């Protein structure tokens, strides 16, 4: 899934800190419904030849990624960077 609005690199870095903290809280929970919180640094997808997204017309440029697992489903949240 892709997060709607673009974020600045600074805002993305700030959000990564929050994502780590949420992951720490989830890791301490007894039920382990939410786990596997991780993120990747911003990557220029277009520069690396990964600008297309399947059969859509959308073109990716700079993008970061957040990951987490809910129950047994792994989610990858794309964050477009301005």
pLDDT digits (tens, 9 = 90+) for 4-38: 778 999 999 999 999 999 999 999 999 999 999 99
Q: Rounded to an integer, what distance in angstroms lies between the CA atom of residue 35 and that of residue 14?
A: 20
Straight-line distance from the first to the last Cα atom of the chain, in angstroms, rounded to the nearest whole number: 18
Which pLDDT score is estimated for 20? 96
Q: Taking the model in full, what pTM does it have?
A: 0.80
């Amino acid at each position: 899934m892709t997060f709607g609005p673009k974020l600045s690199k600074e805002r993305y870095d700030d959000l990564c800190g929050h994502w780590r903290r949420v992951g720490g809280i989830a890791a301490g929970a007894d039920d382990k419904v939410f786990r596997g919180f991780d993120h990747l640094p911003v990557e220029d997808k277009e520069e690396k030849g990964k600008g297309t997204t399947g059969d859509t017309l959308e073109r990716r440029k700079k993008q970061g990624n957040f990951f987490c697992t809910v129950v047994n489903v792994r989610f990858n949240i794309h964050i477009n960077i301005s």
